[in-house]
């Protein structure tokens, strides 16, 4: 196993760890919609990003890597936008955050 493969496996493992932590965060006892949306967006963006980077390192310099980099750029631009649209729609439909201004996210 070359150095390239080991590094890529480590980076992809970090991505899977991010996804697991995000899923645990989505099952938190305090069911706040916006908190969960934040966590879900983290899963999509950072998890997919790290896994994509790991794949790109693993395959070296090739056409396949170019496609992966294109996908990474699209995810980086569009995923936060999607979270923004969902949050905006939820705010307009009248979802209220459970967390108050002072004590947000410290439970």
Partner 1 sequence: MAIALTTEILLVFWVVNAIWIVFAKKTYRVMIFFGVFSLITSVIYLFLGAPDVAMAEAGISAFATIFFIVCIEKYYSRGSGLKAEMASAAKPRNYFKLVAAFAFVAMLCGLFIFFVPTTTEYAYTELRDLYLFQFMRDVGGRNAVTAIYLGYRVYDTLFEALLLVTAVVAVIHLSWFDRTIVADGRHSEVERSRMTKFAMRIVCPIILLFGMYLVMNGHISAGGGFLGGLAFALFLVCRFMVLGVYDLPIEKAMKLEELVFINIIILPIFAIFTGFIYFYGYATEMFQNIYLIAMNFLVGLKVAFGFFVLFYRYIAIERLPDKEEVVEAFDDGED
> Segment contacting partner 1 (CB under 8 A): 13-21, 32-40, 96-104?
13-21
> Within 27-56, which residues bind partner 1 (CB under 8 A)?
27, 29, 51, 54-55
Instruction: Give the residue with the Cβ less far from partner 1, 3 or 102.
Output: 3
Residue where the block lists tokens 């729609």: 89
CA pair distance 84, 88, nearest whole angstrom? 6
Per rule CB under 8 A, is residue 1 in the interface with partner 1?
no
* H-state helical runs in 27-94: 33-42, 48-59, 63-93
Site string for partner 1, 54-93 (x = CB under 8 A): xx--x------------------xx--x--xx--xx--x-
CA pair distance 25, 36, nearest whole angstrom? 7
């Amino acid at each position: 196993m070359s150095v390239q493969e080991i590094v890529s496996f480590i980076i992809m493992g970090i991505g899977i760890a991010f996804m697991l932590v995000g899923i645990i965060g989505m099952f938190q006892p305090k069911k706040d919609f916006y908190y969960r949306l934040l966590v879900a967006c983290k899963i999509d963006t950072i998890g997919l990003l790290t896994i994509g980077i790991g794949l790109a390192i693993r395959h070296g310099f090739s056409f396949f890597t170019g496609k992966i980099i294109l996908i990474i750029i699209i995810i980086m631009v569009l995923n936060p936008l999607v979270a923004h649209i969902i949050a905006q729609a939820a705010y307009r439909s009248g979802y209220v955050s459970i967390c108050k201004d002072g004590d947000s996210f410290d439970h």
